[in-house]
Amino acid sequence: MNVCAKCFSDKELIGYIGSFEKTGECDICNNKEEYIIQLDELQDFFQELVDNYQPDKSGVSFKNKIQGNWSLFSNHKSASEILNNLLPKLNTTILNADFKVNYISDILDNISYWETLKEELKWEKRFLTDIVHLTEDLGWDGFFNTQYQLGNDISLYRARVHHTSGQKAFEKNEMNCPPKEKVNGGRANSLGIPTLYLSDNEETVLYEVRASYLDELTIGEFKLNSIESIKIVDFTEDTDLFQPERVNETIKGKLLREKISSDLSKPMRRYDSEIEYIPTQFICEFIKVFTGAKGIRFQSSLHPKGKNLVIFNQKLMKCIAAKLVQVNNISLKSIGIETQHNNGNRCASR
């Protein structure tokens, strides 16, 4: 049976099928002149995949579990036909695409340890956590491989709210972190450790500092202070499931990053304790030490169109421009620039 690349959404799997440069008619979707492969040639991958699931009457269908977490297939019809063709040939007790499943306990136990670790860091022991268990037993040091290179052609942004009206814009050299003696703890940094929080667009920083009606603030534009790019762990990147011989690690890594990303993005409420920051502070230190990455990127929960970046060492970045911005009831008013607000109103130069 032939299956074509268009039956899948996984970029790695699509590329794998295309690498054979064989075209023909797909027996699943009936498309013609598409890159195809014999479905049985994917049997080893699907055996490795199905080994990570177990029957569970309270779970969800196998195809929905895969699609919900991975979007491996291009649609549910292709998912059903491919799985129903392959599952009888595999060593599994999962009988068909609609069979209810959950992840195996090895995966569930690994990922649930994040909740255990959070409670331990907050309320039991903070400085002598069992790192060996995290690395050698759980393998977490290998789960932060969704990385990209940040180059000096990318602009990032940071805002400072003015405390009195009529101030001039802050100078560029005033847009960095406060001195270490004045640094408070945050989602990614501990008390006294300067860490640069940035966003990938100007509008997002206004949400992140919770700018409100008639607030005046300075927005600084930052670029990498080097011709060499730096490595950033990306919590926003989609992960391809087609990683032969690494499927178990790929599943664990994605699910763990999703849990951590949710905590990184969670806005701090007025009545929350700073103790809530400790687990994400810890994981950022863990990433810095065990991956060599210079920062992380995660989704902004306050502005869905934006992403936040944390640069562990602010000396890697430089502020190249700073401008004054005022917020009014319909738009952002700024000096020397005109931009588009997300509600469709124009932002006029002041």
The tokens of 15 are what?
Answer: 């590329």
Pull the structure tokens for residue 231.
């490595």
pLDDT at 304: 86
Q: What gap in Å lies between CA 131 and CA 85, rounded to an integer?
A: 44
125-148 confidence digits (pLDDT tens): 989 999 999 999 999 999 999 999
Distance CA 124, CA 91 (A): 43
Joined together, the tokens standing for residue 30 give: 């009936």
Confidence (pLDDT) at 334:
55
Structure confidence at residue 273 (pLDDT)? 78
The tokens for 147 are 């990385």
Rounded Cα–Cα distance for residues 158 and 165 (Å): 20
Average pLDDT, the chain: 91
Cβ burial of 339 (10 Å; 0-12, 13-18, 19+) is middle
Confidence of residue 343 (pLDDT cuts 50, 70, 90): very low
Q: Which H or E run includes 224?
A: strand 216-224
pLDDT at 271: 65
Interatomic CA distance for residues 309 and 300, integer angstroms: 9
DSSP 199: E
Please state the domain extents for the chain. Answer: 2-103, 147-334
DSSP annotation of 226: S
* CA pair distance 40, 18, nearest whole angstrom: 16
pLDDT in tens, 287-326: 999 999 999 999 998 888 999 999 999 999 999 999 999 8
The single residue listed with the structure tokens 């177990």 is 54
pLDDT at 329: 53
Indicate the pLDDT class of residue 269, thresholds 50, 70 and 90: low
What contacts 24+ positions apart, CB below 8 Å, involve 106-110? 106/248, 107/52, 107/248, 107/251, 107/252, 107/255, 110/138, 110/139, 110/252, 110/256
Looking at the whole model, is its pTM more than 0.85? yes
Q: Residue with structure tokens 């762990």? A: 233
Convert the pLDDT of each residue in 162-174 to its tens digit: 988 889 999 999 9
Give per-residue pLDDT as tens, 16-56. Answer: 999 999 999 999 999 999 999 999 999 999 999 999 999 99
